Amino acid sequence: MNIVVEFFVVTFKVLWAFVLAAARWLVRPKEKSVAGQVCLITGAGSGLGRLFALEFARRRALLVLWDINTQSNEETAGMVRHIYRDLEAADAAALQAGNGEEEILPHCNLQVFTYTCDVGKRENVYLTAERVRKEVGEVSVLVNNAGVVSGHHLLECPDELIERTMMVNCHAHFWTTKAFLPTMLEINHGHIVTVASSLGLFSTAGFEKESDLMPALKPPDYCASKFGVVGFHESLSHELKAAEKDGIKTTLVCPYLVDTGMFRGCRIRKEIEPFLPPLKPDYCVKQAMKAILTDQPMICTPRLMYIVTFMKSILPFEAVVCMYRFLGADKCMYPFIAQRKQATNNNEAKNGI
């Protein structure tokens, strides 16, 4: 094809993509069904992972829950089983009333499986994945949600914690995807969800002098891990497109600070905070579910994050710094770090260290 013709074809496709994107805002696409499909969620024992599990359970997915905390994971499974029982009761009532026009998924197919897995350890991921394939079946929806935060300034953070953050928040996505993607490629069907963060699109890194000699560098490990996983997700999405595997969908979830307790104490400028408060976990997950079930490639919550990301891409660096300082974003992690440090000191005092 002549390069001039190809240029106009590409231009048309780009413009058409804008039209389709605008149409999605005006007319919400129909949500797809995940009933009966195997959905695996990492970090399902608490926070967003638990809420994702409950939302997928309400949509009749067969759930596989991974978490490093066995007790918390079982608690989530108990909540899921309660939802399944409610669905069974509703189905029975509908059949008895003679309203069972649509095929109802038998309750015996609605099961939840729990596995204790440290996703930061590659061997543990591969072994647990093999168990899932043997005991449950092939995974159709993979929700990479597990995450940790060290809560230390850079120069005070032990190397082991930095490595742990990178392993759980970033490297684990490689291991789980490598474990379950091959079958998705064979059948050209599946969905990979990456739960990242707005801090994977723009960083809060900066410094403020705590003394005349030592700058207090903010913890870059969390932001770096989220930047890494955003890059991994985008690269994976392009690979799937290049391989023409259109049956495998990907969704990148980038929420603003979520009020799960993970970043308790993290605050922006107090005058701005009423207009940009931490997100409620339920709201965050419901918005993410809408994106997942309509095959939306990416969702930032709230939508203001799209504007911030765009401005960061076009503004000079010094202008970005001024914007961060005005919002208080350059120091938002300081109260959180102070709380983590105080908690650590209190634990050491209790243990007589």
Task: Answer left, alpha or beta for residue 43, where phi above 0 means left and psi between -120 and 50 means alpha.
Answer: left
Cα–Cα distance for residue pair 238/282, rounded to 1 Å: 30
222 is catalytic: yes
Cα–Cα distance for residue pair 225/205, rounded to 1 Å: 13
Which one from 84, 222, 324, 334 is the annotated catalytic residue? 222
List the Cα angle 238/303/323 in 5-degree steps: 100
* Token pair for 294: 């309509």
Cα–Cα distance for residue pair 180/191, rounded to 1 Å: 10
**In the chain, beta strands by DSSP E:** 38-42, 62-67, 112-116, 141-144, 190-195, 207-209, 215-217, 248-255, 298-301
Whole-angstrom CA distances from 198 to 111, 125, 190 are 33, 26, 25
Neighbouring C-beta atoms of residue 283, cutoff 10 Å:
14
Cα–Cα distance for residue pair 3/319, rounded to 1 Å: 39
Helices 172-187 and 122-135: crossing angle in degrees, nearest 10, is 30
CA count, 13 A, side-chain hemisphere, 86: 11
Whole-angstrom CA distances from 50 to 8, 65, 260, 280 are 47, 9, 11, 14
Neighbouring C-beta atoms of residue 347, cutoff 10 Å:
10
* Token pair for 155: 């120069």
Whole-angstrom CA distances from 161 to 45, 46, 142, 199, 222 are 21, 21, 26, 18, 10
Q: Give the catalytic positions in this structure.
A: 222
